[in-house]
Amino acid sequence: MTDEHIKQAIIGIIADIAPDEDTGSIDPAVRLRDQMDLDSMDFLDIVMELRKRYGVQVPDTDYQHLASLDSCVAYLRDKMAGKQLVS
């Protein structure tokens, strides 16, 4: 998966979790929490969706790496290698 696909994968998940949020204008460098209404319950959902859709496991201790789109990409690059984007 390319970096762009990883971003799209995360945005796709957020759009499902928070259908009332505008996901079209997320700044990849800024913390997701600062741009939209996401709390710890929602980050749990991002982790579970990653597992459900891509078979990727994210241990509790690594949640911090999901703070922004850019940090998600850096953290998931290896884990998502070779996977197909699910829409």
Partner 1 sequence: MAQYDAIIIGAGMSGLAAGIRLAMYDKKVVVLERHYVWGGLNSFYQFKGHQFDVGLHALTNYAARGARGLPLSRLLKQLRIRWDDLDLHQQGFSAVSFPGVKLKFSNEFELLRSEVARAFPQQADGFDALTRAVREFNELDLEAPQQDARPVVRRFINDPLLEDMIFCPLMYYGSAREHDMDWDQFVVMFKSIFFEGFSRPQQGVRHILKLLIDRFRKAGGELRLKTGVRRILTDGNRATGVELDNGETLTAETVLSSAGLVETERMRGQEPGAQATGKLSFTETISVLDQPAKHVGIEETIVFFSNTARFNYAQPADDVDTSSGVICMPGNFDLPSTPRDHLVRITNIANYDRWAALGSAGFQPASGAGLRPAPQAADETSAAHAGATPALPYYTAKQHWYERSCADAISHIADFRPHVTLVDMFTPRTIRHYTGHEGGAVYGSPKKLRTGATGIEGLYIIGTDQGFLGIIGAALSGISMANRWVLQRDTSAVEAT
Q: Which residue ranges make up the site for partner 1 (CB under 8 A)?
A: 16-20, 37, 39, 41-42, 44-45, 47-48, 51-52, 57-61
- The nearest distance, CB 27 to partner 1, in angstroms, is 17
Q: Which is nearer to partner 1, 6 or 14 (CB)?
A: 14
- The nearest distance, CB 18 to partner 1, in angstroms, is 5
- The nearest distance, CB 81 to partner 1, in angstroms, is 19
**Chain centroid, CA 82 distance in Å:** 17
Q: What six digits make up the tokens of 15? A: 């759009």
SS3 for 10-66 is: HHHHHHHHCCCCCCCCCCCCCEHHHHCCCCHHHHHHHHHHHHHHHCCCCCHHHHHHH
Q: Which is nearer to partner 1, 37 or 78 (CB)?
A: 37
